[in-house]
Chain A
Amino acid sequence: MAKYLLLKHYRGAPAAVNDVPMAQWAPEEISAHVQYMNDFAARLEKTGEFVDGQALAPEGAWVRYDGEGRPPVTDGPFAETKDLIAGWMVIDVDSYERAVELAGELSAAPGAGGKPIHEWLELRPFLAAKPCITE
């Protein structure tokens, strides 16, 4: 039992096989894509492996502390940022192999021409908070 993060990128991942920007898809292809994602999440809920799924807006800001009594500084967005996260799904599965299997299925979501995008997803294991009890 281990949790994994499946990260989807707007930018920064290696190019997908079916690499056509979403804005150039046919409207029904977008619907089919959204349906696939929803079905995937629903299926994981049924198997008891779903933890969380969220999408992120592409635009954001950088924020940092600017010293005692001063408001935080905001900046950006920086267009040149190499890595831009689009969203994530968190799964709780029995093995690394299962996590890879599910990431592969998610990457098969249909895109332009109704064909799988073959999008690269980043798979990251969670660091559990607690150590095992047996030393």
Chain B
Amino acid sequence: MNEVLLRSLAPSVLGILVRRGADFAAAEDAVQDALVEAVRVWPADPPRDPKGWLVTVAWRRFLDATRADAARRRREDLVYEEPAPGPAPTVDDTLQLYFLCAHPSLTPSSAVALTLRAVGGLTTRQIAQAYLVPEATMAQRISRAKRTVSGVRFDRPGDVATVLRVLYLVFNEGYSGDVDLAAEAIRLTRQLAAAIDHPEVAGLLALMLLHHARRAARTAPDGSLVPLAEQDRGRWDTESIAEGVEILQAALARGRLGEFQAQAAIAALHADAPTAEETDWVQIVEWYDELARLTDSPVVRLNRAVAVGEADGPRAGLAALAALDDSSPSSSSRGYPIPRRAAVAAYLHERDGDLATAARLYAEAAQKAPNLAERDHLTRQAARLNARGCR
């Protein structure tokens, strides 16, 4: 049985239950139960109509739970009969679920957890493993999130941007435990793109596909990072790149540029270069200018400095970096330097031939690296330069 296919039915089944009048939290539990039951029963006895089967089982579970609940509270004002068939299951149900699970009243971690469970159909255990927290903690996080959105109307359109932020967070979590969160994020974004016609949804999907295409080439067999310029481009997934580029072009043609489309355009230019040397850095700088116009973050301007260094030489890159420091003098004095600033400076100084400064900055960057893979990579860079005797 294809578990991903099974899970792809989860949001529409959940949507049907909610439309029939079940409250979201109880309906979500019932759908989880039905999914677990399907994993148990289907291999030996596959249903002819998988979705119909899930709706029937989930609705029965919901009624059982509600009855038990109602009996406990001695309440008798609930209708137990099978309701008249609700409106035909629509794509809108799925879309509404995305909005609900990414509701602005939720913290990012709650929105991520709820999305993975209610829309993604993952179990609490799988989500807990992926985020390396105890299952009890994740269960609480999810039930708290459900309580938070319990009063939210299911039929109001939500904010696409918040949904995209949640999916982007899931994508960046990558791979740990038995769930490939990057692949799951792509699946969920693809499903969202089918439910809503929105250029930024397409832009995010393209961005994910273009990054995902490079995944195999990004890590060496020993787990160490391989920088973009040194990656074996023969190991890039050309199918994924072609799909990403096609989706991006269609989105860009609509003339409603957004942050994710601009990021995807940069990723597409990298993907398009047969060798690192043939990268169209001039066009990449232009896209960074667009991106800075859309979302002027220090991280964007830092990446722009790298691109300027490639397009116009390391001196120009260092000048762009200096301009960045001047424009945000408070950022470093407050103890929040721009992440990876030292790493970028080290790279530009090395290309400029100042190996001693580069070695010192690589070591400094390693101290500030946010994860082990990057720290080890930067430490190796510092060691490589120091071994040349340029202390």
Interface residues, chain A, with chain B CB atoms under 8 Å away: 1, 3, 45-52, 92-94, 127-135
User: Shortest Cβ distance from A52 into chain B, in angstroms?
Assistant: 8
**Residues of B contacting A47 in the complex (Cβ-Cβ under 8 angstroms):** 140-141, 144
29 contacts between A and B (CB under 8 A): A1-B108, A3-B132, A46-B140, A47-B140, A47-B144, A48-B137, A48-B140, A48-B144, A50-B134, A51-B132, A51-B134, A52-B134, A92-B109, A92-B133, A94-B108, A94-B109, A127-B372, A128-B372, A129-B176, A130-B176, A130-B371, A132-B174, A132-B371, A133-B172, A133-B182, A133-B212, A134-B172, A135-B214, A135-B227
Nearest A residue (CB) for B107:
A94
Return chain B residues, CB-CB under 8 Å to A50: 133-134, 137
Cβ-closest chain B residue relative to A98: B107
> Is B215 in contact with chain A by the CB < 8 A criterion?
yes
Query: Whole-angstrom distance from the CB of A80 to the nearest CB of chain B?
Result: 28
What separation, in Å, do the CA atoms of A47 and B148 have in the docked complex?
12
Q: Does B374 contact A (CB under 8 A)?
A: yes
Contact of B136 with A by CB under 8 A: yes
Our pick among A49, A92, A133 for the contact of B215 (Cβ within 8 Å) is: A133
Residues of chain B touching chain A, judged by Cβ–Cβ distance below 8 Å, are: 107-110, 112-113, 131-134, 136-138, 140-142, 144, 169, 171-176, 182, 207, 211-212, 214-215, 218, 225, 227-228, 263, 369-375
Q: Which of A52, A92, A127, A131 contacts B131 (CB 8 A)?
A: A92
For residue A49, give the distance in angstroms from its CB to the closest CB of chain B: 7
* Most chain B beta carbons < 10 A, residue from A127, A129, A130: A130
B residues less than 8 Å from A45 (CB atoms): 136-137, 140
Q: Which residue of B lies closest to A93 (CB)?
A: B109
Beyond known contacts A127-B371, A129-B176: 18 more, CB 8 A cutoff: A1-B131, A3-B132, A45-B137, A47-B140, A48-B113, A48-B137, A49-B137, A51-B132, A51-B137, A127-B372, A127-B375, A128-B370, A129-B371, A129-B373, A133-B174, A133-B211, A135-B214, A135-B228
Chain B residues with CB under 8 Å of A3's CB are 132
Q: Which residues of chain A are near B134, meaning CB under 8 Å?
A: 50-52
Give the top 7 A-B pairs by smallest Cβ distance, nearest first. Answer: A48-B141, A128-B371, A48-B140, A1-B109, A131-B373, A132-B172, A94-B107
Chain A: which residue is nearest B263 at the CB level?
Answer: A134
In the assembled complex, which residues on chain A have CB atoms less than 8 Å from the CB atom of B144? 46-48
Which residues on B sit within 8 Å (CB–CB) of A46?
Answer: 140, 144
- CA distance in complex: A93, B109 (Å): 8
Closest to A51 in B: B133
**How far is the CB of B133 from the nearest CB of chain A, in Å?**
5
- Which residues on the A side are within 8 Å of B263 (C-beta)? 134
> Which residue on chain B has the smallest CB distance to residue A135?
B228
The residues of B that contact A48 with a CB separation of less than 8 Å are 109-110, 113, 133, 137-138, 140-142, 144
In Å, the complex CA distance between A52 and B371 comes to: 20
Q: How far is the CB of B385 from chain A (nearest CB, A)?
A: 21
Residues from chain A with a CB closer than 8 A to the CB of B176 are 129-130
Q: How far is the CA of A48 from the CA of B135 in the complex (A)?
A: 10
Which residues of the partner chain B approach A132 to less than 8 Å between Cβ atoms? Answer: 172, 174, 371
Please, how many angstroms separate the alpha-carbon atoms of A120 and B356 in the complex? Answer: 39
B106 to chain A, nearest CB (A): 10
Residue of A nearest to B171 (CB): A133
Residues of B within 8 A of A134 (CB): 171-172, 207, 211, 263
Contact at A131–B374, with CB atoms within 8 Å? yes
Question: CA–CA, A92 to B282, complex, Å?
Answer: 41
**Residues in A neighbouring B372, C-beta threshold 8 A:** 127-129
Nearest B-chain residue to A131, judged by Cβ: B373
Q: Which of A3, A48, A131 has the most CB of B within 10 A?
A: A48
Q: How far is the CA of A62 from the CA of B109 in the complex (A)?
A: 39
Note all chain B residues with C-beta closer than 8 A to A93. 109
- Complex Cα spacing A1 to B133, Å: 11
